[in-house]
Every structure is written in C-alpha cells, then in structure tokens.
Amino acid sequence: MLIRKPADIPYSEVTPKALYLRRREFIQTAAAGAIGAAVALSPRESRAQGRAKLPNVRKSSLSATEAPNSYDDATGYNNFYEFGTDKGDPKANAQRFVPRPWSIRVDGLVKTPATIDLDTFLKPFPLEERIYRLRCVEAWSMVIPWVGVPLADVIKKLEPQPSAKFVEFTTLLDASRMPGQRVPVLQWPYVEGLRMDEAMHPLSILAVGLYGETLPNQNGAPVRLVVPWKYGFKGIKSIVRIRFTDQQPRNSWQVSQPREYGFYANVNPEVDHPRWSQATERRLGEFRRRKTEMFNGYAQQVASLYSGLDLRKNY
Ligand code: MTE
C-alpha cells in the first residue's frame, strides 16, 4: 500500500510525498464529514450500528486450525481507504456508516442482469464460519474467523454466460457516506477482480460477519470478499456490484501503481514488493516475525490454478 509500511522501512521511503501531503487534507475533510453525518443521523440509523450475533452459523472443515487474533485486532487495525489511510481511521471514521438498505447490481455476461436486495441475494445460502489467515501486502497478518457464504454457490445461482472469464467487484461510491472518497488517494470506486476459476474455488467466500457477528463497518459491511491465498487488498469491502466479463478487470491498486501491484496478488515469499521483502510477516500480537508461506499456506489447495503461469511476471 502507499501509506503504511513494514516496521523496518522509514516512513519517508514508503509514502509518496504527494500522498503524504494529502493526508492533512484528508484529516480535515474527514473531520468535516463526520460532523455533517452526526447531525443527519436518524434513530433508525443509530440502531443499525449495534453488534448483532448471526444465527445458524455452521463450522466449516476448510478453517485453519490456528488461534484467531483478538476481536480488537481484527476490528481496530484495518485498511479501508474510503475511511482514511491510517490503520485506526476506519474504526474511528466508519461508525456512522449505515450499511442498510443495501442492494447488489449483477450485470455483464450473466443470464439475468438485476439489482437485488442484499438480504434476498444471500438468503438461499447457509452461513459458515471460516477461520482464515489474512496476509496484507504490507507484511502484517492476522487470523480471522469470518462468517460468510461460498462465492461459488452465489455465482452458480447467478448463472454467468460461458464466455465470462472474470468477475469484477465494485465498492460503493458515495463520498457523503465514505469521506475518504473526497481525497484522490485511489481512483474511486475501489475495484477488484478474480479469474472465474479463482472465484469458483471453494476457499473464496463473500463474508458478512466475523466472530459470529455481523461485519463491523470498518471490516467492509455489509458484504466483502475474502480470498485467503491472496494479499489482503483483493478482499474488496462494501460491495455493490458484481460484473461478469471476458476481459481481465483493472483492480484499483494495479491502476494506482502498476509496477508494484498486479492482478493476481497471490501471497508469494519469493517475489518481493519493489520496496520491501515479502519473505516474512508480522502476525499482530506476536513479537517475532514469521516466515511467509507460499499462497499464504494454501498451496496444496490452490497451486494447481497457476500451473504454467510465471508467478514473477504475474504478481
Ligand atoms: N476494500 C476497499 N473498498 N477499500 C480498501 O481500502 N483495503 C484492502 C482490503 N479491502 C480496502 C479494501 C486491504 S489493503 C486490506 S489489507 C484488507 O481490505 C483489510 O481487511 P480488514 O480491514 O478486514 O483486515
């Protein structure tokens, strides 16, 4: 990413100067937005912010066996540039965001393009808990018990056309609700994409919760992508659109810095980021750095998706 850095790199080396300077502008703009939102908040909206347990969540055999990080780690140390560029900003600035009502636009190469209310959209699918490692491209990691549904089940129900080779996801574009979008740190809205076989892989999920509860705003409420063998930036938050296409989508980080971020973004300790090593990572809550595993430890399940692909070129 642009702003944060692995602990061993001086701040000045990581942050392009223009963006560093814009941070001041962001803080001012975000503060003004928060005040505006506070005035506009209705009682129904206030209620929408509470923590709520999700019913009927079954455990998945695809979970990692490692101990999860604390709830505070997972919900207090986030990247969500729509709410600010520091790790504490999303929690601080997203509290008044109201992720309901919410609908998903499904279009492109699909049987029936439609705009579907999120609750209707997800109703057919039983909720599962998936404990996954999350490895950020900035070389920190966490273990998070997500609650979600297999993306493959959702896609099958949507019936993409045989010519669809990729799925593109888009985050909400609304600077009045996401104050970070007033600052051009990225091209808004945030966009991500997967190859169809990656999207259909059993490990890929659409998450609607964590720790058995609904997704906090800072983690991407009401629905976000989780693809555990890829760097965290593939896990696009607050999704409003799913588009099937025959062209490889241009994801936000690749658009922003093509030399540094690619389309695949598979966790790979052998391919360094141009400005830092990807060989090790700092697990939140731990002192000693860990070795980063190929495909974030999911090589056995996903390596075959990339046989014949040069992972140095396709980073
Ligand atoms: N999605 C949107 N819309 N905007 C973002 O800035 N940041 C990404 C990803 N999804 C981001 C996003 C990055 S860089 C990471 S590491 C993960 O969200 C972090 O997810 P978490 O906050 O749930 O840990």
- How many whole angstroms separate alpha carbon 143 and alpha carbon 159? 32
Q: Which atom of ligand 1 is nearest to the CA of 190?
A: 3
Q: Is 50 within the bounds of a domain?
A: no
Mean pLDDT check: name the lowest of 39-48, 60-69, 129-138.
39-48
Q: Is the pLDDT of residue 123 over 80?
A: yes
For the segment 130-146, what is each residue's pLDDT rounded down to a tens digit? 999 999 999 999 999 99
Peptide bond into 222 cis (omega under 30): yes
Mean pLDDT across the stretch 42-58? 69
Q: Is 124 within the bounds of a domain?
A: yes
Q: Is 48 within the bounds of a domain?
A: no
Q: What is the token pair recorded at 218?
A: 């800072």
Amino acid letter for position 276: W
Q: Is 216 within the bounds of a domain?
A: yes
Mean pLDDT check: name the lowest of 26-35, 37-46, 90-99, 175-184.
37-46
Q: Determine the pLDDT at residue 52.
A: 95
Give yes or no for a contact between 227 and 235, defined as CB atoms under 8 angstroms apart.
yes
Q: Determine the pLDDT at residue 172.
A: 98
- Ligand 1 contacts CB of residue 172 (under 6 A): no
- Ligand 1 contacts CB of residue 244 (under 6 A): no
- How many whole angstroms separate alpha carbon 178 and alpha carbon 281? 30
Q: Which of 131, 164, 154, 157 is nearest to 248 (CA)?
A: 164
Q: Which of 134, 128, 142, 143 is nearest to 205 (CA)?
A: 128
Q: Is the pLDDT of residue 31 over 60?
A: no
Q: Is the pLDDT of residue 215 over 60?
A: yes
Q: Determine the pLDDT at residue 2.
A: 60
Give yes or no for a contact between 249 and 274, defined as CB atoms under 8 angstroms apart.
no
Range of the domain at 292: 7-31+57-306
For the segment 280-289, what is each residue's pLDDT rounded down to a tens digit? 999 999 999 9
- What share of the chain in percent tops pLDDT 90? 84
Q: What is the token pair recorded at 43?
A: 């009682």
Mean pLDDT of the chain: 89
Q: Which of 171, 302, 186, 168 is nearest to 248 (CA)?
A: 168
CA dihedral 269, 271, 272, 277 (to 10 degrees): 20
Q: Determine the pLDDT at residue 49.
A: 53
Query: What is the pTM assigned to this prediction?
Result: 0.88
Mean pLDDT across the stretch 147-162? 98
Q: Which atom of ligand 1 is nearest to the CA of 74?
A: 24
Partners of residue 110 on adjacent β-strands: 160
- Ligand 1 contacts CB of residue 237 (under 6 A): yes
- Ligand 1 contacts CB of residue 80 (under 6 A): yes
For residues 197 and 42, the model is more confident at: 197
Q: Is 197 within the bounds of a domain?
A: yes
Strand order of the β-sheet with 191-195 is: 114-117, 103-108, 239-245, 166-171, 191-195
Q: Is 39 within the bounds of a domain?
A: no
Q: Is 45 within the bounds of a domain?
A: no
Mean pLDDT across the stretch 2-16? 42
Tell me whether strands 127-135 and 57-59 are parallel, antiparallel or unpaired.
parallel
For residues 141 and 25, the model is more confident at: 141
Q: Determine the pLDDT at residue 21.
A: 42
Mean pLDDT across the stretch 166-178? 98
Peptide bond into 101 cis (omega under 30): yes
pLDDT band at 33 (very low <50, low <70, confident <90, very high): very low
- How many whole angstroms separate alpha carbon 68 and alpha carbon 285? 11
Q: Determine the pLDDT at residue 73.
A: 98
Question: Residue written as tokens 């009502």?
Answer: 101
Q: Determine the pLDDT at residue 16.
A: 43
pLDDT band at 41 (very low <50, low <70, confident <90, very high): very low
- Ligand 1 contacts CB of residue 190 (under 6 A): yes
How many domains are there within the chain? 1
- How many whole angstroms separate alpha carbon 235 and alpha carbon 191? 10
Q: Is the pLDDT of residue 9 over 60?
A: no
Q: Is 271 within the bounds of a domain?
A: yes
For the segment 244-271, what is each residue's pLDDT rounded down to a tens digit? 999 999 999 999 999 999 999 999 999 9
Ligand 1 test: best mutation among 71, 75, 79, most atoms within 8 Å of CB?
79
Q: What is the token pair recorded at 186?
A: 């990225």
pLDDT band at 50 (very low <50, low <70, confident <90, very high): confident
pLDDT band at 35 (very low <50, low <70, confident <90, very high): very low
Question: Residue written as tokens 């601080």?
Answer: 92
Q: 213-239 burial string, b = 16+ CB within 10 Å, else e?
A: bbbbbbbbbbbbbbbbbbbbbbbbbbb
Give the domain CATH number at 80.
3.90.420.10
Mean pLDDT check: name the lowest of 34-43, 97-106, 284-293.
34-43
Number of other residues whose CB lies within 10 A of the CB of residue 88: 12
Q: How far is CA 185 from CA 19, 172, 240, 252, in A?
A: 7, 16, 20, 11
